[in-house]
Amino acid sequence: MLVLSRKRNESVIINDNIVVTVIDVRGDKVRIGIEAPRDVSVHRQEVLQAILSEKLKFSENPSEESSGSCVI
C-alpha cells in the first residue's frame, strides 16, 4: 500500500485521469473529492461489500422472475 500525506486542497493523481483531493479534515475524519471518468466505479468500501453480498445472494438463489418464468 502506498501511503501519502496531503493537506487540505492538495491532490493525488491516479493513472492520469483520476484526481483525489482532500476537501476537509476535522478531527479523525477526512472528506475527499474524487474526479474520475464515468466508466470508473467509485464506492466506499462498505457500500461495495454490500453490493457484492447482494450479487452473491442473487447468484446463489435466483428469483423465479429471472428464471424465464412468466406469470400472466
pLDDT digits (tens, 9 = 90+) for 9-68: 999 999 999 999 999 999 999 999 999 999 999 999 999 999 999 888 878 776 645 555
Q: Is residue 3 part of a domain?
A: no
pLDDT at residue 62, rounded to an integer: 67
Q: Is residue 33 part of a domain?
A: yes
40-60 per-residue burial string, b: 16 or more CB within 10 A, e: under 16:
eeeeeeeeeeeeeeeeeeeee
pLDDT at residue 71, rounded to an integer: 57
pLDDT at residue 59, rounded to an integer: 81
Which residue is it, cell 483520476?
Answer: 18
Max intra-chain CA distance, the chain: 60
Q: Is residue 72 part of a domain?
A: no
Which residue is it, cell 454490500?
Answer: 50
pLDDT at residue 55, rounded to an integer: 87
- Residue-number span of the structural domain to which 42 is assigned: 11-67
Q: Is residue 5 part of a domain?
A: no
Beta bridge partners of 16: none
Q: What is the pTM of this model?
A: 0.71
Q: Is residue 6 part of a domain?
A: no
The pair phi, psi for residue 54, each rounded to 5°, is: -65, -40
